């Protein structure tokens, strides 16, 4: 089997090379993302391996099908970037890594909260320059604050357990209640009530047609004044221009995002010497109460090990005609 790996960074290749010897496959690593223009690189391959910002739309899939691709192996959990109907029509299977390290993402959400709240990023820079003033560094106790969790699957559940340890009250919304969390004292309620009651809202649901722009002008207006919003899930859960408006009128007190609606043109790349044309990210970066990380919540050694192993196991199961337990339909 020949596998074309798209959006490859040096660390992706490093992890594949750590494990690939026991699998009898040939890899072609491409730095470029998969999209209709680059899909031709899959010629002579059987499988394409893709990540969060590859554009696996109808047109891409048509070209993959012509090239004889039979499997799209996502090395991530979310699959919102793949046109599943188009893949099914072309008889191309899609597999993903449904769970690799919910702790990695949940811990990063907590890191965003603590950094935004206690301003350790600002303190670090100040002290290094000999500025030992505490002016404007005041935070708030997390103890007794209400945290609203949207989506209480693997990552949301882990996040609830972490914030429970900080003595927070937890309210949650999900289309399915998680019994383990009810036992932990998490109170499920309507989405509207979660937005109204939370001091901090943390998003952990997938991006789909029901959740797109779940944080918008109307939902922001219903939140507490000075609310903190955390998004480690998918960028388009938040309508970016509405969050900018919420920050400008001070309704949003803090915004921590690891994902961004238009991230595919920015994230994972060093653009420090390039003129960035995305005015919305530049406006977001101008706020002192906004913290942005570049889709790194998943990025721990443990998660990279698990992502690589599961991806190779998914490909092997396909190669051997076995049941695809991680298939997305």
Catalytic center residues: 234, 263, 295
Task: For residue 178, give both structure tokens.
Answer: 């998680």
Q: How far is the CB of 290 from ligand NAD (least distance, A)?
A: 17
Give the closest residue to 258 by CA, choosing from 219, 204, 308.
204
Q: How far is the CB of 103 from ligand NAD (least distance, A)?
A: 11
Region binding ligand NAD by CB under 6 A among candidate stretches 2-10, 38-46, 146-154, 312-320: 146-154
**Percentage helix, strand, coil, to 5, in the chain?**
40, 15, 45
Q: How far is CA 280 from CA 40, 82, 178, 262, in A?
A: 32, 25, 36, 9
Q: Which of 8, 38, 219, 232 binds ligand NAD (CB under 6 A)?
A: 232
Region binding ligand NAD by CB under 6 A among candidate stretches 42-50, 58-66, 149-157, 315-323: 149-157
Give the closest residue to 188 by CA, choosing from 199, 173, 168, 204.
173
Q: How far is CA 275 from CA 116, 258, 271, 282, 292, in A?
A: 27, 22, 8, 11, 18
- Contact between 150 and ligand NAD by CB under 6 A: the answer reads yes
- Contact between 75 and ligand NAD by CB under 6 A: the answer reads no
Q: Please tell me the count of residues contacting ligand NAD according to CB under 6 A.
A: 30
Q: Which residue is nearest to ligand NAD (CB)?
A: 153
CB 20 within 8 A of CB 1: no
Q: How far is the CB of 277 from ligand NAD (least distance, A)?
A: 24
Site for ligand NAD in 183-212 (CB under 6 A): 204-207, 210-211
- Contact between 106 and ligand NAD by CB under 6 A: the answer reads no
H or E, element range at 108: helix 102-118
SS3 state at 56:
strand
CB 31 within 8 A of CB 321: no
Q: How far is the CB of 36 from ligand NAD (least distance, A)?
A: 23
- Contact between 295 and ligand NAD by CB under 6 A: the answer reads yes
Which residues contact ligand NAD by CB under 6 A?
A: 77-78, 99, 102, 105, 150-156, 173-176, 204-207, 210-211, 232-234, 258-259, 295, 297-298
């Amino acid at each position: 089997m020949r596998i074309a790996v798209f959006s490859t960074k040096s660390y992706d290749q490093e992890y594949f090379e750590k494990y690939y010897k026991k699998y009898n496959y040939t890899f072609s690593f491409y730095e470029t993302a998969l999209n209709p223009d680059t899909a031709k690189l899959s010629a002579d391959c059987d499988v394409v391996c893709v990540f969060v910002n590859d554009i696996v739309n109808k047109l891409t899939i048509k070209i993959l099908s012509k090239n004889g691709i039979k499997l799209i192996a996502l090395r991530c959990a979310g699959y919102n970037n793949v046109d599943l109907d188009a893949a099914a029509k072309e008889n191309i299977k899609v597999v993903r890594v449904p769970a690799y390290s919910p702790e990695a993402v949940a811990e990063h959400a907590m890191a965003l909260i603590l950094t935004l709240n206690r301003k350790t990023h600002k303190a670090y820079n100040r002290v290094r320059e000999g500025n030992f003033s505490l002016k404007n560094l005041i935070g708030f106790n997390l103890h007794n604050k209400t945290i609203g969790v949207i989506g209480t699957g693997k990552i949301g559940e882990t996040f609830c357990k972490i914030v429970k340890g900080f003595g927070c009250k937890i309210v949650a919304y999900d289309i399915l209640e998680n019994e383990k969390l009810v036992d932990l004292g998490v109170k499920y309620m309507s989405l509207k009530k979660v937005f109204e009651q939370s001091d901090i809202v943390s998003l952990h649901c997938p991006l789909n047609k029901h959740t797109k722009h779940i944080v918008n002008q109307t939902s922001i207006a219903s939140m507490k004044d000075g609310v903190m919003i955390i998004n480690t899930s998918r960028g388009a859960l938040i309508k970016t221009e509405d969050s900018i408006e919420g920050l400008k009128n001070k309704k949003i007190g803090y915004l921590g995002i690891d994902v961004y609606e238009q991230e595919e043109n920015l994230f994972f790349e060093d653009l420090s010497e390039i003129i960035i044309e995305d005015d919305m990210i530049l406006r977001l970066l101008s706020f002192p109460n906004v913290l942005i990380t570049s889709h790194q919540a998943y990025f721990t050694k443990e998660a990279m090990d698990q992502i690589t192993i599961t991806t190779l196991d998914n490909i092997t199961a396909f190669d051997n005609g076995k049941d695809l337990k991680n298939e997305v339909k």
